[in-house]
Structure formats: structure tokens, C-alpha cells
Amino acid sequence: MTTTAPVSYRWRQPRLARGWEPVQLIGRMKILAARDGVELPKTYQLIRDIYLWEHHRADLPVYVASLLGRIFDGPNPFGTRPVQHLPSRAVRTRGR
């Protein structure tokens, strides 16, 4: 019987196959964005966005997804809808 990799691993695989930490991937994204004349969000926000995307909790913004397609040098398999941030537990529990 063959087992498949967990779904979240499939999305992380291109980054992990290169031995990159999320910050290293973001550094490459920032270099490409600077060449395009685009300023990306702060690194901590991109780390959060990439984590949520890799674990299938949110889509990436279109431009960020296109950067990943360019970095990984292949067709763009990434989601193209804007990121929909999930409210934190602290926000959900306030006022109850």
C-alpha cells in the first residue's frame, strides 16, 4: 500500500526541497518585488501568509502567488484569490 504525503506537505515541498526556511523564500520574493517596483508587506506578515497557505488555511494574494511561480520556475499552481485572514481567537472571544 502506498501512502501519499500530507496535503500541507505538498504545498511546502518546493520550498523544503531547496532547503529554504520561510524567511529565505521571502527574501527571494522581496528581491523580485523590488525589481518590479513593488513593496511587499512586512516579513512577519508574509511569514504568516505563507504558513496559512502551506497549511491550506488561506489563499495567497495574486501578486505573491505569481512571485512564487517565478521563484520555483514553473507553472503557477498557487491559489489566485486574495488572502482572507482568519480572525484570531482573541478577537472572536471578545465581547462574549
Whole-number pLDDT of residue 2:
54
Q: Is residue 34 part of a domain?
A: yes
Distance CA 15, CA 18 (A): 5
Q: Is residue 80 part of a domain?
A: yes
Q: Is residue 1 part of a domain?
A: no
Q: What's 10's DSSP letter?
A: H
Q: Is residue 2 part of a domain?
A: no
Q: Is residue 11 part of a domain?
A: yes
Whole-number pLDDT of residue 29:
92
Q: Is residue 58 part of a domain?
A: yes
Q: Is residue 38 part of a domain?
A: yes
Q: Is residue 50 part of a domain?
A: yes
Q: Is the pTM of this model over 0.75?
A: no
Domain that holds residue 68: 7-93
Overall domain count for the chain? 1
* Lookup: cell for 85: 485572514
Q: What is the pLDDT along the chain (96 residues), one digit of tens a residue?
A: 555 545 545 678 888 888 889 999 999 999 999 999 999 999 999 999 999 988 888 888 888 888 888 888 755 444 444 434 444 444 444 454
